[in-house]
Structure 1
Amino acid sequence: MTASTGAASSEGLRLAEDFTMPVDMVTSTFAILGKKGRGKTHCASVLTEEMIREGVPTCILDPTGAWWGLRSSADGTAPGLPVVIFGGEHCDVDLPETSGTIIADVLIEQRFPAVLDMSLLSKSARRRFATEFLERLYWKNRLPLHLCLDEADEIAPQRAHAGVERLLGATEDAVRRGRIRGLGITLISQRAAALSKSVLSQVDSLIVLGMTAPHDISAVDAWVGQHAEEAQAHEVKATLPALPVGEAWVWSPEWLGVLRRVHVRARTTFDSSATPKTGQVRLQPKQWAQVDVAALAYRLADAEQKGAETDPRRLRARVRDLERQLAAASEPPPPREIEVEVPVVTEEQTAELDQLVGRLEQVAQASAESAQALAEALGRARPPAHDAAPAAPAAEPEADAESLQAPSSEVTPTPTSGNGGLGKAEREILVALAQHGPRTRTQVALLTRRSHRSGGFRNALSRLRTAGLVEGRGEIAITEAGRTMLGGAWQPLPTGSALLEWWCRTLLGRAERTILTELVRCWPDEVSVDELAARTGYSRASGGFRNALSRLRSLELASGRGSLRAADTLAE
């Protein structure tokens, strides 16, 4: 593999047998638009072949896995172009979603042609890779380099939903201001109407193949109408629906000053984007152009090491990690957690256990009440003392039934004169409603670490309703009287990252903490259940993993089924 020099020959870029463009156009912006099956990728491949043969470093962002054929000849029997393939099913080198900056550095330094095959990455992973790659390429490149963006409407959409804004901004920078940094761009799309108008308006040369959708034709007509005479624009618009496969209109008002209909020449490399036909044996290349993968791997490793040493994000993360270690060293070690796999309990078994717990709580409460009554009776029966000895200290009151339960990890508010008459269960229910707002009975039970079917929990809710401290059945809310009774013995919830720490410290088990932290890291993107299990090291079929997902949904910390997304309140 040899680095491209960028030196241009005098032959130019031969798009058709009778149509050639100057090599200097490699730093301009092209748009190749056309309906699926009309030769859009074929036309872009011909243009790419010409640029690579002229010594121009050319890179293709390929989300569909259709460009690997550049490495072999048209019939597959001879080597093609020495293009390095990153990622995909025919890769020379892997393409991790986190390698955008590193690969951009290597391409800028070594200046060789490459295909970045993103077809095996998820949609969110493709966006993350493309964002880092385009940002780095724009800020660091200074010599001629051409970039082909296949399916450009995915990278620069007209309607950018949440999570795509940064990628769209990086694309706009490369298209609008990339020429001064040596960057040329080719935008390839079958949906002209779906492509960002702010990006499409910066195109220097438009190559349009056949299309039939009225919205796409209107988008092309708007562009041509700004640069051509009315009669020319009408001719282009009228011919687009019936334009034969392989024929295209080339409109270059500034560079060439032409509006011309051409027949794109045949490819000299293997057509790996061809649609397979029924009953036809798909041809596979037998000869490939050789590239020095070993040398490339060494360069990538060296670039990765240099990037790790100077990347501001990694340095900031390292500083934060050291600060956490320093803070942890001054605190006592946390209790050791032992993870135990527990078999999933059936619905019937859960209901039966809840009934038993309820009966036990009722017995405990009755016992406590009986003990209190007996103590009062003994007090009345005891003869009064006649000596002047000081009275013995009053006996501590008996603990109520709820206090027999395991202590909650929630910080218990200190009783004040405003809530001294509340039992532990009633007090924790009021704190949960004051902090989280109206919640269902199941959610309130989760927030107080109780079973919503238990007698103690139901009795506590009943006492609060009777006293007018809470209201509602399907959804329970604290009343003004409840807030007055609670007084200042509670703290509002924090926000942003502090809120995530609060949940992890207070109410979530290890599985819920691990899953929620990963979802917040990926926010605002959704993460599929399969990918989430792989990232957190759990089995998708395990009861612990499924129960953790269910608990996060019940607490409204995550939403979704096949794919999950963290609640907006947890992200800064």
Structure 2
Amino acid sequence: MNLGTLTLEKDQVIRKCVAILGIRGSGKSNTAKVFAEELIKEKIPLVIVDPDGEYRELDAVVFDRFNVDPEEVVNILMVGKSVVLDVNDWNDDVFKFLTAFFNVLWETSKVYRKDLFVLLEEAHEFIPQGGRTPLSDVLVRIALRGRKRGIGMILVSQRSAKVNKDVLTQSEIYFLHKVVHPVDVRVYKEILPLKSREIETEIKAMETGDAIFYKDGELKKVRIRKFEELPLLLQEGEKAEI
């Protein structure tokens, strides 16, 4: 998996919980798209909850209307295809669909145990710290227990302090982009085995695309390459929008 100045093997990331954090404009969503793109190249399907329509360029089946049976969407994942759930139009029906979908995915994973990823853009909206909903309950369950069933999770957020701490602190891979809010900086200090002053210095020096990569005690500054958008003809020929 070529992420820029960092290369990872597929076996290093499958079934892991990955946190990609940083303020708007820091490059966090680009990192998430590059990571997703590389997983798709490795034939690992993802389901992406996309509140802003940022992931439609990926080689995936896009849903932007949710009058479909959740089992149909799960079946697409089970045959190895990725899915983008474009939830730009937030309403109660969307949240009901997501809750039903992730419950079906959880039950299906008990039987199939297929390697796949759930990517949550704006993760603090779906698994907030200090709040519980039927949707957050099933997502937290997947994040904390999904590994045994083949499911990894990618959390993307501009407000790390607002993400469920049980999930965030148990993540196994971190891409930490620039943050400025003191509360979010404090989260980085809780995650990284560095002195507070060192973390503050590193964060201040970051430019768009820079990230601190942290995994299994390994810590280094990396630069993530830019996301490669699919050519228009390939999108039309290989993507289905429902």
- The TM-score, its normalising length taken from structure 1, stands at 0.40
Partner of 2:128: 157
Report the Cα distance in structure 1 between the residues aligned to 2:85 and 2:155, rounded to whole angstroms. Answer: 15
Gaps of 5+ in 2: none
Equivalences for residues 46-57 of structure 1 within 5 A:
46-57=34-45
Partner of 1:221: 189
Report the Cα distance in structure 1 between the residues aligned to 2:35 and 2:204, rounded to whole angstroms. Answer: 23
Equivalences for residues 408-557 of structure 1 within 5 A:
none
Partner of 1:265: 225
Partner of 1:422: none
Q: Is 1:194 aligned with 2:162? A: yes
Report the Cα distance in structure 1 between the residues aligned to 2:115 and 2:188, rounded to whole angstroms. Answer: 28
Partner of 1:184: 152
Counterparts in 2 of 1:286 and 1:14: CA distance versus 1, 3 Å: closer
Counterparts in 2 of 1:260 and 1:119: CA distance versus 1, 3 Å: same
CA contact (8 A) 2:179 2:203 kept: yes
Partner of 1:7: none
Counterparts in 2 of 1:236 and 1:126: CA distance versus 1, 3 Å: farther
CA-based RMSD: 2.0
Structure 1 residue 84: Cα displacement: 1.0
CA contact (8 A) 1:247 1:261 kept: yes
Q: Is 1:107 aligned with 2:71? A: no
Amino acid at match of 1:112: K
Partner of 1:241: 204
CA contact (8 A) 2:53 2:88 kept: yes
Q: Is 1:19 aligned with 2:6? A: yes
Structure 1 segments of 4+ aligned residues over 6 angstroms from their partners: none
Partner of 1:67: 55
Counterparts in 2 of 1:292 and 1:286: CA distance versus 1, 3 Å: closer
Counterparts in 2 of 1:262 and 1:292: CA distance versus 1, 3 Å: closer
Amino acid at match of 2:130: R
- Which of 119, 140, 143 does residue 114 from structure 2 map onto? 143
Partner of 2:20: 32
SS of the residue corresponding to residue 233 of structure 2 reads: coil
Higher strand share: 2
Report the Cα distance in structure 2 between the residues aligned to 1:234 and 1:186, rounded to whole angstroms. Answer: 28
In the TM superposition, what whole-angstrom CA distance separates every residue of 1:139-158 from its partner, at most 9, and x where no partner exists? 21211011111110011001
Report the identity percentage. 28
CA contact (8 A) 1:101 1:133 kept: yes
CA contact (8 A) 1:28 1:204 kept: yes
Query: Alignment length, in residue pairs?
Result: 237
Counterparts in 2 of 1:126 and 1:240: CA distance versus 1, 3 Å: farther
Gaps of 5+ in 1: 1-12, 71-80, 88-93, 271-284, 298-572
In the TM superposition, what whole-angstrom CA distance separates every residue of 1:448-472 from its partner, at most 9, and x where no partner exists? xxxxxxxxxxxxxxxxxxxxxxxxx
CA contact (8 A) 2:47 2:77 kept: no
Structure 1 residue 292: Cα displacement: 7.1
- Which of 45, 66, 91 does residue 95 from structure 1 map onto? 66
Amino acid at match of 2:70: G
Report the Cα distance in structure 2 between the residues aligned to 1:292 and 1:220, rounded to whole angstroms. Answer: 38
Amino acid at match of 1:56: I
The structure with the largest alpha-carbon Rg is 1
Structure 1 residue 238: Cα displacement: 2.7
Partner of 1:85: 62
In the TM superposition, what whole-angstrom CA distance separates every residue of 1:79-118 from its partner, at most 9, and x where no partner exists? xx3x11111xxxxxx433x6434422x2343220121111
- Which of 176, 183, 196 does residue 208 from structure 1 map onto? 176
Amino acid at match of 1:118: V
Partner of 1:527: none
CA contact (8 A) 1:34 1:208 kept: yes
CA contact (8 A) 1:60 1:147 kept: yes
Partner of 1:479: none
Report the Cα distance in structure 1 between the residues aligned to 2:9 and 2:222, rounded to whole angstroms. Answer: 16
Report the Cα distance in structure 2 between the residues aligned to 1:263 and 1:183, rounded to whole angstroms. Answer: 27
Partner of 1:116: 85
Counterparts in 2 of 1:50 and 1:108: CA distance versus 1, 3 Å: closer
Report the Cα distance in structure 1 between the residues aligned to 2:71 and 2:186, rounded to whole angstroms. Answer: 37
Higher relative contact order, chain-length normalized (CA < 8 Å, sep 6+): 2
Amino acid at match of 1:111: G
Higher helix share: 1
Partner of 1:343: none
